[in-house]
């Protein structure tokens, strides 16, 4: 559709949530993180991908689907609970339609939410048979989506590398999980928190990983200095290709102050009837302990820097999204026009974002993507959408340089995951990592069924404890109690099983109870730590 392609834009969405699974109780609000993400991000993305395909719009997008997210989406109990979640929200929406009958604008919005949640139920239960993984796999299989992997439980490599075998396990289990769900090996990996450590390259290559996504300075501070900065990938001496985040395009989307999500016509995230409705009215739809929570029913737009908010208008929001999609495309066109004037290879603008930004935090984000991809296909511009794999295949002559240790956390390195609020956890994580390697060497290829099950469960508990999410949550100051508990319980279970194995006194009932709670990676083999 274009006269001339002078460069490329690569969208990469990082879809990730920590593994939260509580068969023992429905009282854990944290399970709803998954349900909110399904309704506000994953289903809208799938529906927009389908619209683009039906409209014969050729597009490309890359997504991480992390192993914890895949395991949760595949979990029968969580699938069942999501349906219950939807039915409860549909019931609330029906009540809202009746309650707002005398306010036309509010009533139209309540009907809008009723339609949204009802459609979510239809899509989830009837179209995808309760498993959204099949939807994403379909788009990968037809060539418009590239799915990449991540560390097994999103462990932060720069700190975990105190014991390199723990990083090897994070990579290996991540790749194995990907193969299980998608029937192929991943070509790329989203390093958890974009945390790069050069020593991990050998394990990335061992498991067939060709490329990584880094923060901007991970490439800008590479040695030697990259000729084209972040606008072309580099390849490490260990043959791992690194694509770096583009600063300009990131700021346009990320920032709630200067970026698109702050548009006054967009939905106000922080105004929800879960917090504003009469308590007795809303009580059946909030937490079991009576704590008010988000319901997803939000009636107001950002409006401006004021506490007095106007009602949300769906069409106004769409109009803003369409205008900003055009703005983003024009900015990339100008950027690539300039870059292509002096680069000897076509520039690539790498645009990595948290997937949950699109839809959950920025409600209009999936629609913005849909419009943007249509504009790129139909309108006059000088670039194409591309995946990192496609770029490597087309332009294999890549500058050799060693990326810099880096992350995309605050200030660019490790302080989000290692600071006085969470540093206590690391000595326990490192000790457990050493003990896991010890067990693998003590019982190589264990034949005893019960002991093998216990060894595999130790591996699960260690991986779950290593999740960077818990350290981030503690630093961020939200749901801190749950994060502390997640680390302490997993380390506690690991330690108890470790001593039971060493003393040859494995409690089969305890082991079964632990597996019931932490049943991630059912095919795991503890020998990954050997």
Helix (H) or strand (E) holding 471: helix 468-476
The 3-state secondary structure of 425-441 reads: HHHHHHHHHHHHHHHHH
Would you give the DSSP letter of residue 310?
A: P
Q: Check residue 27 and give its pLDDT.
A: 80
Tens digits of per-residue pLDDT, 406-417?
999 899 999 999
Beta bridge partners of 349: 9
Tens digits of per-residue pLDDT, 467-497?
999 999 999 998 899 999 999 999 999 999 9
CATH number 1.20.1430.10 is the correct assignment for the domain at 418-529 = yes
Q: Where in the chain is the domain with CATH 3.20.110.10?
A: 7-68+140-267+312-411
Q: Is 146 helix (H, G, I), strand (E, B) or coil?
A: strand
Tens digits of per-residue pLDDT, 257-292?
788 999 999 999 999 999 999 999 999 999 888 889
* CA separation for the pair 370, 281 (Å, rounded): 37
Q: Check residue 454 and give its pLDDT.
A: 97
Q: What average pLDDT does the segment 176-181 reach?
A: 98
The 3-state secondary structure of 304-368 reads: CCCCCCCECCHHHHHHHHHHHHHHHHHHHHHHHHHHHCCCCCCCEEEEEEEHHHECCCECCHHHH
**Higher model confidence: residue 290 or residue 328?**
328
Q: Check residue 289 and give its pLDDT.
A: 84
Q: Collect all residues with Cβ–Cβ distance below 8 Å to 141 and sequence separation of at least 6.
A: none
Q: Is 231 helix (H, G, I), strand (E, B) or coil?
A: helix
CB 332 within 8 A of CB 381: yes
Q: Check residue 256 and give its pLDDT.
A: 66
- 313 has pLDDT over 60: yes
Q: Check residue 2 and give its pLDDT.
A: 47
* CA separation for the pair 212, 230 (Å, rounded): 13
Q: What is the mean pLDDT of the chain?
A: 96
Q: Check residue 1 and give its pLDDT.
A: 44
CATH topology of domain 7-68+140-267+312-411: 7-stranded beta/alpha barrel (3.20.110)
The radius of gyration computed from the CA coordinates of the chain, to the nearest angstrom, equals 24
Beta strands 188-190 and 145-150, pairing class: parallel
- pLDDT level of residue 298 (50, 70, 90 thresholds): very high
């Amino acid at each position: 559709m274009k006269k001339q392609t002078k460069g490329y834009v690569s969208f990469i969405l990082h879809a990730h949530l920590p593994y939260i699974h509580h068969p023992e109780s429905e009282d854990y609000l944290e399970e709803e993180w998954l349900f909110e993400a399904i309704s506000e991000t994953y289903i809208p993305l799938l529906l927009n991908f389908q619209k683009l395909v039906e409209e014969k719009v050729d597009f490309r997008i890359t997504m991480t689907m992390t192993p914890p997210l895949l395991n949760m989406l595949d979990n029968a109990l969580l699938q069942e609970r999501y349906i219950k979640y939807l039915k409860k929200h549909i019931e609330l929406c029906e009540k809202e339609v009746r309650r707002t009958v005398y306010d036309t604008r509010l009533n139209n919005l309540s009907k809008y939410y009723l339609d949204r949640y009802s459609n979510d139920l239809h899509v989830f239960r009837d179209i995808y048979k309760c498993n959204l993984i099949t939807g994403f796999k379909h788009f990968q299989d037809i060539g418009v989506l590239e799915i990449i992997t991540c560390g097994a439980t999103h462990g932060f490599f720069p700190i975990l590398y105190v014991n390199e075998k723990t990083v090897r396990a994070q990579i290996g289990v991540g790749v194995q999980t990907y193969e299980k769900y998608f029937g192929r090996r991943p070509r790329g990996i989203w390093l958890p928190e974009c945390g790069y450590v050069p020593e991990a390259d050998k394990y990335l290559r061992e498991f067939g990983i060709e490329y990584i996504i880094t923060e901007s300075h991970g490439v800008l501070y590479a040695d030697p200095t990259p000729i084209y900065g972040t606008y072309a990938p580099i390849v490490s001496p260990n043959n791992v290709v690194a694509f770096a985040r583009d600063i300009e395009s990131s700021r346009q989307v990320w920032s709630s102050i200067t970026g698109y999500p702050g548009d006054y016509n967009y939905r106000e995230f922080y105004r929800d009837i879960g917090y504003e409705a009469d308590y007795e009215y809303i009580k059946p739809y909030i937490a079991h302990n009576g704590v008010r929570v988000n319901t997803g029913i939000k009636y107001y737009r950002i409006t401006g820097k004021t506490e007095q908010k106007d009602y949300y208008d769906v069409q106004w929001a769409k109009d803003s999204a369409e205008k900003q999609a055009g703005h983003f495309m024009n900015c990339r066109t100008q950027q690539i026009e300039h870059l292509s004037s002096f680069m000897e290879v076509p520039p690539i603008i790498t645009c990595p974002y948290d997937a949950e930004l699109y839809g959950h935090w920025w409600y209009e984000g999936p629609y913005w993507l849909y419009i943007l991809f249509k504009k790129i296909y139909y309108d006059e511009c000088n670039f194409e959408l591309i995946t990192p794999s496609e770029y490597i295949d087309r332009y294999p002559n890549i500058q050799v340089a060693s990326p810099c240790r880096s992350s995309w956390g605050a200030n660019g390195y490790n302080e989000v995951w290692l600071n006085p609020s969470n540093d206590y956890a690391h000595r326990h994580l490192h000790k457990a990592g050493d003990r896991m390697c010890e067990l693998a060497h003590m019982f190589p290829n264990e034949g005893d069924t019960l002991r093998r099950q216990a060894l595999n469960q130790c591996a699960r508990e260690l991986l779950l404890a290593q999740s960077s999410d818990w350290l981030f949550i503690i630093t961020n100051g939200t749901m801190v109690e749950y994060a502390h508990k997640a680390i302490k319980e997993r380390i506690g279970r690991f330690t108890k099983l470790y001593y039971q194995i060493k003393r040859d006194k494995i409690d089969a009932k305890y082991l079964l109870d632990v597996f019931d709670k932490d049943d991630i990676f059912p095919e795991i083999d503890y020998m990954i730590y050997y």
